[in-house]
Amino acid sequence: MSGPLTGLRVVEMVGLGPGPFAAMMLADMGAEVIRIDRKTKPGEKTAFPILGTKYDVLARGRRSLALDLKQSADQAVLLELIDKADILLEGFRPGVMERLGLGPDICLTRNAKLVYGRITGWGQHGPLAHAAGHDLNYLALTGMLHAMGRADTPPPPPLNLVADFGGGAMMLAFGVVCAALEAQKSGLGQVVDAAMVDGSALLGAMIYGFKQFGAWGSERSANLLDGGAPFYDSYACADGKFITIGAIEPQFYALLLKLTEVQDSSFHAQMDAISWPVLKQKFAALFASKTRDQWCEILEGTDVCFAPVLDMNEAPQHPHNLARGNFMEIDGVQQPAPAPRFSRTAAEVPPPPARPGQHSREILQDWGVSENLVRQFQHL
């Protein structure tokens, strides 16, 4: 692999969702990430059948070592790998790594420069630290879920993109790279406590600023960016498909009215929130008069701030996504490409996901695990 993180060595304790996503981001950028998979018995089923297959997109770009951490030899192998790593990633509940004898105190004593990255929902401390949860729960606690959705319905689950991946995985990846840069100067590692609730709250920084300024109310669908404004929303078209409009700036809004041939003077009161419900109905009727493709012909590529709502079959085929290579195939599986782009240290196409334990022997050899430990390691 090549990329801006080439030379960085990472040990990933395999978990679900945010941890693998953060590890994927690092691997996409050229870091050597070793996945520590749980050694399973032949025929043992998992709760998520996609894991360990080529469709487990979050596992791309890494080699896999399967270990049984209840075995002293396997644990010793892992500790020796950690001794040689720049970063460790783990996503278990607080206290699990400590009970395995792999907590920060032990690992940082052995490897003073290690960056110990931890990702949890609620964080390593606090009243909820040991409680189970998922993306929707973490987002709910930040005030941001309450701000999403229509006024007359419960807030909708925004997939698991916000807390799991935006507030969790990306904050973890950012945090461990920050700490690794600092370790190059100080010679000292540290623990990075990435909590999905913390990161999700941070993603809401601008909205909280609006609220404190008095420009954001608590009612949903009544504000500038939550679907309250008629010029910032999605609309149904004549064919049952949808488009998005984001004409916030006055010049963009004026162009929208021009290109849609609106003559009604009531549309000129763009920022009069009292008129928004009526204008929303009028825009809905307007956009329902043509198909999505017809609106694309009129509006796409202009400064109206427009895009069609594409499904996951359509998105990879859109000309802009094709031109930028935003999607790719790995072993026949279509998936998003690495991002962002670098002008000099471009990332390569990642290898496909590994089977658990697929690279066990070569990892031990490449990372220089002591021969004595290799001989004790009876599970390869």
Placement of tokens 């360990």 in the chain: 52
Distance CA 179, CA 177 (A): 5
Measured distance CA(10)–CA(115) in Å, rounded: 9
Task: Report the Cα–Cα distance between both ends of the chain, in Å, rounded.
Answer: 25
Query: Does residue 340 have a cis bond before it (omega within 30 degrees)?
Result: yes
**164 tagged catalytic:** yes
Would the CA dihedral through 177, 180, 184, 188 be positive or negative? Answer: positive
**Catalytic: which of 83, 134, 193, 303?**
134
Which one from 56, 74, 86, 164 is the annotated catalytic residue? Answer: 164
CA separation, residue 50 to residues 327, 328, 336 (Å): 20, 19, 17
User: Encoding tokens for residue 376?
Assistant: 């004790």
Go through the chain and tell me how many residues it has: 380
Least Cα distance to 357 among 1, 59, 28, 27 occurs for 59
What is the set of active-site residues? 134, 164
